[in-house]
Amino acid sequence: MSSYKSPRAGSLITALAALALLLTAGCASVGPDYHAPEPNMPERWNATSLEAINAGEADEEALAAWWENLNDPVLTGLIHQALANNHDIRTALARVRESRARLGISEADRYPTLEATGSA
């Protein structure tokens, strides 16, 4: 078996290696006037809304439209379009509302009840 390589194959491998090196180097440069953007993040995590959700104190309307808190008009438009045109989602949303109502009814048994009778 011969280990002879044609000159054409060697030049092809060299050209591909050079191309890969150039493409990789091109991805690394961002320009001399590039300034990294400052991240817009809060100083610390605010879990008050999460605590309200876990405690059952969250506003159902706010939960139903959670995407509006993101202030993204494209996302809002897509979700409104999906809700208008997808009957399965509307059915599922109705079932979620029904389940939440049933949960509220079943949790009402935990609260004290008052009974009074009167006679003349």
- CA distances to 44, 52, 91, 108 from 48, rounded to whole Å, are 12, 6, 31, 24
List, in order, residues 6 or more apart from 64 with CB less than 8 Å away. Answer: 93
Do the beta carbons of residue 100 and residue 60 sit within 8 Å? yes
Check pLDDT > 90 for residue 41: no
User: 66: part of which helix (H) or strand (E)?
Assistant: none
List, in order, residues 6 or more apart from 62 with CB less than 8 Å away. Answer: 69
* Most confident stretch, 3-12, 63-72, 88-97: 88-97
Rounded Cα distance, 22 and 24, in Å: 5
Rounded Cα distance, 91 and 93, in Å: 5
User: What does pLDDT average to over the chain?
Assistant: 79
Which pLDDT band holds residue 2 (cuts at 50, 70, 90)? low
- CA distances to 3, 14, 16, 63 from 6, rounded to whole Å, are 10, 13, 16, 68
3-state DSSP helix/strand/coil % of the chain, to nearest 5? 65, 0, 35
Q: What integer pLDDT is reported at residue 102 of this predicted model?
A: 93
